[in-house]
Structure 1
């Protein structure tokens, strides 16, 4: 559904309280001090990320899904729909790119960090929360981390003042254990035991931190990273019953997980509104990768969960999570800032690596030299054109998106493998492979792709 024509944003330059204050200064013969006025002008916005886990292109209502997501849809109606927003094909690489502003392959992170892996973010990088802290931000992460599986490699090591949730990539929604039984649920790096569904706990902790624990004299950066709708699917019956019209049991439970997390997003949004924080908070909604097709576990959770023959829906995009075709890397995403950005659909080419420099530009923070993405939010808000080049390397494929074209490389072991070229603007479903008809473009894109690969870390 196209909401663009229905939106009208009112911008009020002066409220009643502001007029009263100005009148008072005139009456008593004073004026605000220049330093204080400048301080007010330069107060940076609060920033809040909503990140879903494995939500596909057609798993949100505003993209035509059978799943009811009214709160996400409201963000889409009132905000900027990022129609060409790209991430990595799996979760850990996307989260690494989000917090560093560079392709995760530069860090040697090509796939989910799992099992007993010692893989984590390098300790010498300036992350997004670290950079924001220099501007006086208070930073917090709620929910999924997945960039280090031990407390000493948790969120607080990389710039978050407060952290709560789980360290691993997937958890039992109620016991909060990893698939092999490892503890994962923590608060500030200390493992804890709590009762409740992960979706509810993450939202509740977010609101409590915003209400009681943060320093209200500082701007905040909060990353709210849900476990939903990632398996295992363990939704309360009241959510499952809302989708009795979906015949496939697995898809019905997946829809329940989406409905549940949408409801929780609505609770956080309601708190921001009632606490008069909405006008000063920039919000980004996104999924960490495309929807997953199915899940057939063997030994995970001692066989308590699954199998799931139908999970996410990326229709009409091609393929699923872990793939570099559109279904794996092009995800639902929305920008929202009440009273600042007019509602519209943006077809600009945007990467998850662009988020960090865009946020830092908004907050008037120097962008670290390690960042490869570019600040684009201001261009999008003002409707200005910009060029972008998106390189994505997963553990199965690599891709390059530039202008109207997309190159996909599928290696065959140690062999060169297969190169495919698509006119991604005319053919977003990637039905027509056109490398033979566009040999010069193909050669150019292969050269650029190989230059990127040479820059990547060779560490396992």
Structure 2
């Protein structure tokens, strides 16, 4: 019995199969099972015949095992086709099979000549097993090859992560942009907003340090100890070092990261500074607000210490009369001109303007001299024109150096305006540092070729914490599931509904500024003192509605701090959709809604973290560092 050809016939019987599985000296190269007309696979006499072809040197041997139906008698034969053309058939009969092993034999224990050991039932089973194993291995190898090809193809067509440019405009009021106020000239950002996605309901934190902390970490500030006011220059603390910041995560996937502008997240120890927190470079101040020409920064509302603040990495930028905004934009253009576009870019521009300090180069103020405006208003409108020009210079550089088509530009205020002193949040209520809408609802838009929907006005809720997770998603990074931020990319780029239905404005349980605010759906609840900057100012200087032309007053009174303790049992309830200006307190009308929102606040309170160290330490006084605000004292 031998395979007659490729058709697999055995002794001319086409119903018998020939399975070719192995090749090699001393190994089975075929396993054949007779398949007769019986559907059960047995031969005509009720027995089952299995053959194995064995190649030993130049001899081809066919070993067969015939199992009688009663499983008591087994006949094995070996036919040998020698290289000289002769054929030998040897046969041995085994009886009394027990557990598949022969215990007696008609020929005793005589060995079959040239068989390389007895071909036992175990050997045949091993041959069958090896055949199956080889087939599986071959299939596995083919699958690996196919998968490798698929991976290569996908890697070639994998979307390239975008360059991301984030612009935070300092203290930008709701009424300080052209699309909300026709008296303000901001043609560049007007056009970018109209070509991209303009947000009507973007929220940030009431002050600049907490907003930056939320963007950098993806957590609400009350969960990381950053809920109290902002970092003052002599505080011996900063954004907690155990937190991994956004630029650190982006560096891990190949992003080149740059920070230009004010840092304001801690500097008393070098470990708090930008180049130790994930940024490849930093150029700008380490503290908060400062003058734009002399680059001077003061501590706290008491202004007990003043010093120079301008850093390039770990080195001081010497006194320079050039207007600060010019210097920052010039550095950004340099970064863009030298960027190797193969690597994705994360650039964060924390602007020094509009800000709280009314300074601007004369040419911008002079553009408004023909109008019936007071000097402060002319200067502030000039600052807004400079801000617009700065954004235009940056976008032009992105285009000039071939980066624009791969860039997502994100623009937003870091908090509302210092109303009736600098900008205006009209018609929204309140000033920077409060829990009213004027402090936390800011102008914002995104622009870039990555948007699937362009020229769109979004009325969906977005919070600054969402940008952390959304940027990670765009970069292909899996975010910590515990983050407060939500991936908003589908809502932003495709115009889908926002998954966000709730915003926590802040929770602070400090003894004299205890307050909290939350929005769920259309309703907003404020409890406690809504002014987070107490005692730097009186509450009646921050909770009103202020237009740009209103008579200004000094919000920070030097060392003459307020000594009047504000009431802590105040409750406000607004339907913020119907009453965005917060003019109608409905707390007494809907106590059940107040209770419901209060319960939600209490649930969030379970995650509150104690405020970071707010101790003021004169070890950081600029006089100890040659007049500079410098790290190295905590």
Match of 1:155 in 2: 274
**Partner in structure 2 of residue 20 of structure 1:** none
Q: Which has the higher strand share?
A: 2
Helix, strand or coil: the match of 1:149? coil
In structure 1, the partner of 2:386 is 260
Q: Deviations over 1:260-292 (max 9, x none)?
A: 121011000111122221121011100110110
- Quote the residue 1:225 is aligned against: 350
| Structure 1 residues 447 and 390, CA gap change in structure 2 (3 angstroms) | same
Could you tell me whether the CA contact under 8 Å between 2:173 and 2:424 is conserved in 1? yes
Which structure shows the bigger proportion of residues in helix conformation? 1
8 Å CA contact 2:573, 2:587 repeated in 1: yes
Match of 1:444 in 2: 596
Distance 1:197 1:145, change over 3 A: same
8 Å contact from structure 1 (residues 387, 403) kept in 2: no
Among 245, 257, 275, the alignment partner of 1:127 is 245
How far apart are 1:74 and its partner, in Å?
1.2
Separation (CA, whole Å) in 1 of partners of 2:154 and 2:606: 50
Q: Does 1:458 align with 2:599?
A: no
State the partner residue of 1:243: 368
1:371 matched to 2:483: yes
Shift, 1:194, TM fit: 5.1
Structure 1 residue 75, shift from structure 2 partner:
1.4
Q: Name the counterpart of 1:350.
A: 462
More displaced 10-residue stretch of structure 1: 134-143 or 179-188: 179-188
- Partner residue in 2 for 1:35: 152
Do the aligned partners of residues 406 and 33 (structure 1) sit closer, same or farther apart at CA in structure 2, a change above 3 Å counting? Answer: closer
Equivalent runs, 1:104-183 vs 2, <5 Å: 104-109=221-226, 110-150=228-268, 152=270, 153-179=272-298, 180-183=305-308
Instruction: Give the number of equivalent residue pairs.
Output: 413
Once residues 150 and 601 of structure 2 are traced to their aligned partners in structure 1, the CA distance between those partners, rounded to angstroms, is 55
Larger Rg: 2
- 8 Å CA contact 1:360–1:367 kept in 2: the answer is yes
Q: Which residue of 2 aligns with 1:388?
A: 501
Contact 1:90 1:322 in 2 (8 A): yes
In structure 2, what is the equivalent of residue 287 of structure 1?
Answer: 413
Unaligned runs of 5+ in 1: 1-31, 295-309
Residues 414 and 59 from structure 1, CA distance in 2 versus in 1: closer, same or farther, beyond 3 angstroms? closer
Partners of 2:500 and 2:220 lie apart in 1 by 18
Cα displacement string for residues 129-164 of structure 1 (whole angstroms, at most 9, x for unaligned residues): 111111111111000100013461211121111111
Secondary structure in 2 matching 1:358: helix
Confirm whether residue 185 of structure 1 aligns to residue 310 of structure 2: yes
Maintained 8 Å contact 1:116/1:149: no
CA apart distance, 1:124: 1.1
What TM-score do you get using the length of structure 1 for normalisation?
0.85
Q: Following the alignment from structure 2 to structure 1, what is the Cα–Cα distance between the partners of residues 307 and 450?
A: 45
Q: Is the 8 A contact 2:174 2:425 kept in 1?
A: yes
Q: Does 1:320 align with 2:431?
A: yes
- Give how far 1:39 is off: 3.9
Distance change (3 Å), C-alpha of 1:116 and 1:263? same
1:297 aligns with none
User: In structure 1, the residue corresponding to 2:570 is in which secondary structure?
Assistant: strand
Aligned pair partner of 2:331 in 175, 190, 205: 205
Aligned-partner Cα distance in 1 for 2:461–2:450: 24
Equivalence for 2:70: none
The alpha-carbon distance between structure 1 residues 246 and 292, as it changes in their structure 2 partners (threshold 3 A), is farther
Q: Distance in 1 between matches of 2:367 and 2:442?
A: 25
Deviation at residue 65 of structure 1 after TM alignment: 4.4
Q: Tell me by how many angstroms 1:107 deviates.
A: 2.1
Secondary structure at the residue paired with 1:348? coil
Distance 1:339 1:356 in 2: 17
CA pair 119-392 structure 1, distance change in 2 beyond 3 A:
farther
| Cα distance change on mapping 1:434 and 1:410 into 2, 3 Å | same
- SS of 1:52 mapped into structure 2: strand
Structure 1 residue 236, shift from structure 2 partner: 1.1
Q: SS where residue 49 of structure 1 aligns?
A: strand
Per-residue deviation at 1:367? Answer: 0.5
- Equivalents in 1 of 2:175, 2:403: separation in Å? 30
Residue 172 of structure 1 and its aligned partner are, at CA, apart by 1.6
State the 1:120 CA deviation.
0.7
C-alpha displacement at 1:198, in angstroms? 0.9
Aligned to 1:228, what secondary structure does the other structure show? strand
**TM-score, length-scaled by structure 2:** 0.62
Q: Deviations over 1:354-374 (max 9, x none)?
A: 110011111110112442111
Aligned to 2:3: none
In structure 2, C-alpha distance between the alignment counterparts of 1:151 and 1:234, rounded to whole Å = 31
Q: The residue matched to 1:142 in structure 2 has which SS?
A: strand
Higher relative contact order (CA 8 A, sep 6+): 1
Structure 2: where are the runs of 5+ without partners? Answer: 1-148, 299-304, 531-564, 614-634
Say if 2:451 is the partner of 1:340.
Answer: yes
Native 8 Å contact 1:46 1:282 kept in 2: yes
Residues 1:133 and 1:36: Cα distance change in structure 2 (over 3 Å): farther
Q: Deviations over 1:169-211 (max 9, x none)?
A: 0112122121233232001122221521111111110110111
**Residues 61-96 of structure 1: CA deviation (Å, up to 9, x unaligned):** 111242211111111111111110111111101111
Q: 1:368 to 1:189 in 2, by over 3 A?
A: farther
Asked if residue 83 in structure 1 is aligned to residue 235 in structure 2, the reply is no
What is the match of residue 405 of structure 1? 523
Aligned residue for 1:7? none
1:393–1:34: structure 2 CA closer, same or farther, 3 Å change rule?
A: closer
